[in-house]
Homo-oligomer: A and B are copies of this chain.
Amino acid sequence: MNQDYIQPNNWSIIEEGFDAERVKSSESIFSIGNGAMGQRANFEEQYSGSTFQGSYIAGVYYPDKTRVGWWKNGYPEYFAKVINAPNWIGINVTINGEALDLATCKTVRNFRRELNMQEGWLSRTFEVTLQNGIDLKVNAKRFLSIDMDEVGAIQYNVTALNTAADIIFEPYLDAGITNEDSNWDDKFWNTLSVNSEGSQAFILSHTMKTKFHVCTAMQTELSLNGQKLNETPSVTKSEHKISFTYTAKGAKGDTVTMTKFGGYTVDRNHDKNDLASVAQKTLAKAAALGFDQMLAHQKEAWTKIWKMSDITIEGDVKAQQGIRFNIMQLNHTYLGKDARLNIGPKGFTGEKYGGSTYWDTEAYCIPFYMATKDQEVARNLLEYRYNHLEKAIENAEKLGFKNGAALYPMVTMNGEESHNEWEITFEEIHRNGAIAFAIFNYHRFTGDFSYIPEKGLEVLIAIARFWKQRATFSTLRNKYVILGVTGPNEYENNINNNFYTNYIAQWCLNYTLETISKMKEEFASDLIRVIDKVKLTEAEMSDWEQVATNMYYPYSEEHNVYLQQDGFLDKELITVKDLPKSERPINQKWSWDRILRSPYIKQADTLQGFYFFEDQFSTEELERHFDFYEPFTVHESSLSPCVHSIQAAKLGRMEQAYQFYLRTSRLDLDDYNHEVEEGLHITSMAGTWMSIVEGFGGMRVIDNKLSFDPKIPEQWDAYSFKINFRNQILKISVSKTDTTFELEGDHAMAILINGSEVTVYPQDVVKV
């Protein structure tokens, strides 16, 4: 646990004091990104202590060979993983012949790191005494530009405090990097050329196998006390690396500054032959603007982001800091500009989970992006899956499905399955439902039906076809059953009739049929085009209806609840509170078989169904199921507390809702799971946002209207959030005594407050 390590602060993440043990954790927490690239908060200068180096480029991955003990038919031959990209931030510093290295210097004082969330930059200041006796002060600031997303900028200031000093800066590019998790000793990058021109340097390289071409580039300049020096650096080149050497003589108290602009151009955006020339121009433009002007633009860009997406919390600094940290890191990861990209569970902050796309995007992230960005962003996320439809069909074919049935991959970079645990890849099929649900959710929120005739319907049909084929008719039960699945609760594998899976399968079938039916009237020509393209028959649709109408659900009369799966009641039903603390987390303490035969639930499963399809169950039903399942839930997935927080709030259990909220919002800042050094839990951060908006704020969309049922945790004085609903921004402010609604927009908006309709007018305030 990191508790009380990060300074409480409304707008900044601040670390004070240097602790070598925390370097890797802080490298994660202070990560920065701009949607196109991102990096861990590695030091610019040499650091010989324990560190986890990571710089990542959106959409650039490597297909690692699948190796398993017992090969199973249908496994992907390769799985895509995020790879560490060439390092462009490095600036080695030598003072009177001694390398500046926080691991080897005599003392480090006044070390302070700040991630300024309001303005979008990272800084680091410290003083050191080197082994050679020189006292130095260092002040480094960097950011990745939101506006010019191929560029980042670093200003690195060194002041010799007690004497004059010879200061050598060696800014470099290094393409000879590896992955932390490169088990197989494969080489991931191939360097094509290493060049320099004046104060610019370029390394052209491509990833092995995937052949993503990247130009890593830098432009550097040296200043003395703020005055640029026109020094031409000497150049050192090796196979994978290029560095410039700048030598400066600083008098005692002089500040010598290395300013470095750097970044990547990639062949996703440019012709691969133009990468160096584009980089050359982009860097020149950045350098012409200069560090300060770039930084001013950065602040403006972040001001815009916060204007749409900020959540304020009064009376609870840690909660305030937590939610802003989550919102910032989500924006670091994905800004929604490019439908070819998606939201990796670790973003650009680590290597785990392969940087790939999971159902997290549809289940947890889309609501955040819908409400805090323009609606094209969410649409881009839907299109990402539409663009992968063909591969999802191929994936289903590998598993024996026919006739255009699609199974979206559990984990993917390019539409192909990238996971090879059979119980996940082949059986955690509920993910297919989330893809369809996101289409429904997008339409519900934005009111934009146009996506469905254009693209969504094809996806829905392919998913419906999958569910139809995946269900089997049980003569014993005279119902359709779905055998051999893993539900959202991954602590059960190969189970039969998982409530959530059966429910979302049935829902997908019904929703697809309803959508088709709706289109018959309003979008007949689109419907005909799609039906023609995918060769959908009446007989097929009638089969879907059969399956949907006769879906089986395990139910316990005794407990009056749907069972999570067949046989759930055979387990020893000991609740989590009676499980010794020493046995938890069970995923670290117990062997897999023990976990599987226990009743313990990793994350919302039956309750996830109640969350998605809330309007199809009564509050009493929710309460019964919550009371039955939550006591068995260990919340060992970062995606678990948020759903429970929302449901607890709905049930009026505000203290429980607040506890769940805390657990999700400061998961990484307080390092609850002792693993933040591996990277941040990006996708669950969107769940934190939902906890406030949907949980405390009680926001829903009902009949094309925003609806609220605001509550406030006892610990808070007030909170506010903004919702971009159909191109108008509604700000909701909740205090202990009242709730106000303010609208930025051009026309009146009818909303529901605690079930009653109220109209909010632009630039007006409604208080209730």
Contacts and interface: CB of A to CB of B under 8 A. Distances in A.
A572 to B, nearest CB: 5
Contacts of A74: 590-593
A475 B594 CA distance: 19
A67 B426 contact: no
A420 interface: yes
A596 interface: yes
A398 interface: yes
A426 B72 contact: no
Instruction: With a 10 A CB-CB cut-off, give which of A399, A427, A472, A593 has the most chain B CB atoms.
Output: A593
Interface string A587-606: 11111111011000000000
A3 interface: no
A70 B72 CA distance: 16
Given A477-B570, A571-B483, A572-B473, A73 B590 contact: yes
Can you list the 6 inter-chain pairs with the closest CB atoms, starting with the nearest?
A: A74-B591, A426-B593, A484-B597, A483-B597, A72-B592, A399-B591
Contacts of A569: 474, 476
A68 interface: yes
B73 A587 contact: yes
A421 B594 CA distance: 15
B597 A398 contact: no
Interface of A: 67-70, 72-74, 79, 183-185, 398-400, 419-424, 426-427, 472-477, 481, 483-484, 493-496, 566-567, 569-573, 587-594, 596-597
A81 to B, nearest CB: 11
B571 A472 contact: yes
A573 B476 CA distance: 11
A636 to B, nearest CB: 12
B72 A69 contact: no
Contact of A67 (B67, B475, B496, B570): B67
A60 B475 CA distance: 53
B421 A70 contact: yes
Contacts of A493: 493-494
Q: How many copies of this kind of chain does the complex include?
A: 2
A472 B422 CA distance: 27
B427 A593 contact: yes
A73 B589 contact: yes
A426 B593 CA distance: 6
A166 B484 CA distance: 69
A69 B493 CA distance: 16
A494 B426 CA distance: 15
Given A69-B420, A73-B587, A496-B570, A399 B594 contact: yes
Contacts of A426: 591-593
A470 to B, nearest CB: 9
Given A68-B68, A567-B566, A484 B572 contact: no
A496 to B, nearest CB: 6
A246 B185 CA distance: 43
Instruction: With a 10 A CB-CB cut-off, give which of A73, A74, A587 has the most chain B CB atoms.
Output: A73
B476 A591 contact: no
A483 to B, nearest CB: 4
A69 B400 CA distance: 24
A417 to B, nearest CB: 11
A311 to B, nearest CB: 34
Nearest to A483: B597
A472 B572 contact: yes
A67 to B, nearest CB: 6
Given A400-B591, A484-B596, A591-B399, A570 B476 contact: yes
A67 B591 contact: no
A185 B186 CA distance: 11
Contacts of A473: 572
Nearest to A587: B73
Given A570-B496, A571-B472, A590 B400 contact: yes
Contacts of A79: 69
A586 to B, nearest CB: 9
A505 to B, nearest CB: 14
21 contacts: A67-B67, A69-B79, A69-B419, A69-B420, A70-B421, A74-B592, A184-B184, A398-B591, A399-B591, A399-B593, A400-B594, A422-B592, A422-B593, A426-B593, A472-B572, A483-B596, A484-B593, A494-B494, A494-B495, A566-B567, A566-B570
A197 to B, nearest CB: 40
Contacts of A573: 475
A477 B587 CA distance: 29
Instruction: With a 10 A CB-CB cut-off, give which of A398, A494, A588 has the most chain B CB atoms.
Output: A494
Given A476-B570, A571-B472, A597-B472, A421 B592 contact: no
Instruction: With a 10 A CB-CB cut-off, give which of A483, A566, A587, A591 has the most chain B CB atoms.
Output: A591
A399 B593 CA distance: 8
Contacts of A570: 472, 474, 476-477, 481, 483, 496, 566
Nearest to A493: B494
Nearest to A596: B484
Contacts of A184: 184
Given A474-B569, A494-B596, A496-B567, 15 more contacts: A67-B67, A68-B68, A68-B69, A74-B591, A74-B592, A399-B594, A400-B594, A423-B423, A423-B494, A426-B592, A476-B569, A477-B570, A484-B596, A496-B570, A567-B567
